Amino acid sequence: MSTALVSAATDDTFAAAVLDNPRPVLVEFWAEWCPPCRQLAPILDALAADLAGQVDVVKVNIDENPQTVQRYGIMLAPTMNLYRGGEVVRQLVGARSKSALLRDFGLAQ
């Protein structure tokens, strides 16, 4: 489903993987039953490879991690949050192209 460059976080590991991370972290809140999430998977893999060492990419399964989903008010899948210094700085809902994600999150190189 995803490469080693895209990691998974759970309710138990979210703080360490995302909030305490010194790099910006792009988090996708996704679900197995979500077709747009499946479309987004290879795009996130490519982003993770392109931005390795600059931005970490993490996925959170919304069905398996209700505490994190509730904490951030996630209502739809896929929802992507960009975290910097433990804070959400940008949120996007729905699948997008790689170029749109880079642009909309301000990650274009």
Catalytic annotation, residues: 34, 37
Helices (H) and strands (E) in the chain, counts: 4, 5
CA 39 from centroid of its chain's CA atoms: 14
Q: What angle do CA 17, 90, 88 make, to 5 degrees?
A: 45
